C-alpha cells in the first residue's frame, strides 16, 4: 500500500507539470483502474484540486475527469471507494483560505422545485485541526455558502446560512464517531425547506426569499479546514454519491 501511494504521488507530480504546460490530463496522472470516473457516475461534476493555477486551482472537467486519477483523487479497489486526499499546505480556490480535493456539480438550481444530494462516506484521516467539510450547497456570490456538512473531530455538524451573507449557524447532528465510521447523509431541498439527514438523524431549515433568483449547486468531497502547513493530511472515502 505504501509503495502504491508513493507511485500515485509521483504520478501526480508528473501530471501537475504536464497540466501546467498543456492544460490537459497527463498519462501519468490518468490510470483507468484508479480513476474514480470509471466506477462512479461523475458526468455532471468537475474536480477542484489542491494544486495552484493562476489565482485559483487546477480544475479537471469532463470529459477528462472520467479517466483522471492522482494522489489527491483516486479509486481504492480494496474498499471500492472514491478517495479524496488533501494536504494542509494545498492551494485554496479563489476567495477561500483552505485547500480542497472536491467535486463541484455543474448543474445549478434555485430554491424552487426539488433537488437532493446523497452520499455514503468515511473520514479515514483528519488534519491537525480535526475539521473537514464533506458536503455543501454553495452559490456564486460572496456569502453564498447556504449549507455545509462538517466533520469536526468525530462530530457531524450542519452549518446553515438561511440568508446570503449571514453568519453561519451550526447544528450538531451526530456525536462521537471514530475515524473510519460510516456516514450516510442526504440533503433534500423542497422549495425553501432543506432537510438534512445524517445516519438517520434529521433536521430541517427554512431559507428565506432573499435566496430567490440566486443559483446554487452541490459540492462533495474533502474541503480541508486546515491551512497550517504542518504536514497533516485529510483523507475522505466516498462509497456512494448521487445528486438529483
**Domains in the chain, please, with CATH?**
2-243 (2.60.120.200)
pLDDT at 142: 76
- Across the range 55-69, mean pLDDT stands at 95
- Mean pLDDT (the chain) is 88
DSSP labels for 89-104? TPPBPTT-SSBEEEEE
Locate 239 and state its grid cell: 462509497
Locate 84 and state its grid cell: 479524496
In this structure, what are the phi and psi dihedrals at residue 159, rounded to the nearest 5 degrees? -105, 130
DSSP labels for 26-70? -STT--GGG-GGGTS--TTEEEEEEEEETTEEEEE-TTGGGG--B
pTM of the model: 0.86
pLDDT at 95: 82
Distance CA 234, CA 88 (A): 8
pLDDT tens digits for 173-201? 999 999 999 999 999 999 999 999 999 99
pLDDT tens digits for 143-153? 789 999 999 99
pLDDT tens digits for 69-128? 999 999 999 999 999 999 999 999 988 899 999 999 999 999 999 999 999 999 999 999
In degrees to the nearest 10, what's the CA dihedral of 193, 40, 221, 85? 170
Amino acid at each position: 500500500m505504501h509503495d502504491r501511494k508513493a507511485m500515485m504521488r509521483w504520478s501526480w507530480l508528473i501530471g501537475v507539470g504536464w497540466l501546467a504546460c498543456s492544460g490537459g490530463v497527463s498519462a501519468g496522472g490518468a490510470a483507468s483502474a484508479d480513476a474514480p470516473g470509471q466506477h462512479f457516475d461523475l458526468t455532471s461534476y468537475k474536480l477542484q484540486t489542491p494544486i495552484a493555477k493562476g489565482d485559483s486551482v487546477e480544475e479537471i472537467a469532463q470529459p477528462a475527469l472520467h479517466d483522471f486519477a492522482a494522489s489527491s483523487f483516486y479509486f481504492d479497489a480494496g474498499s471500492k471507494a472514491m478517495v479524496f486526499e488533501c494536504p494542509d499546505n494545498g492551494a485554496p480556490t479563489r476567495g477561500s483560505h483552505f485547500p480542497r480535493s472536491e467535486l463541484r456539480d455543474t448543474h445549478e438550481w434555485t430554491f424552487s422545485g426539488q433537488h437532493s444530494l446523497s452520499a455514503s462516506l468515511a473520514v479515514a484521516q483528519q488534519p491537525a485541526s480535526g475539521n473537514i467539510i464533506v458536503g455543501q450547497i454553495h452559490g456564486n456570490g460572496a456569502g453564498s455558502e447556504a449549507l455545509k456538512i462538517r466533520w469536526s473531530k468525530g462530530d457531524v455538524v450542519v452549518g446553515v446560512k438561511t440568508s446570503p451573507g449571514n453568519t453561519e449557524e451550526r447544528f450538531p447532528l451526530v456525536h462521537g464517531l471514530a475515524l473510519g465510521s460510516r456516514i450516510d447523509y442526504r440533503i433534500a431541498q423542497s422549495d425553501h425547506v432543506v432537510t438534512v439527514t445524517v445516519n438517520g438523524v434529521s433536521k430541517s431549515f427554512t431559507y428565506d426569499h432573499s435566496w430567490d433568483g440566486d443559483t446554487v449547486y452541490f459540492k462533495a468531497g474533502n474541503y480541508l479546514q486546515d491551512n497550517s502547513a504542518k504536514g497533516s493530511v485529510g483523507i475522505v472515502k466516498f462509497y456512494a454519491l448521487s445528486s438529483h
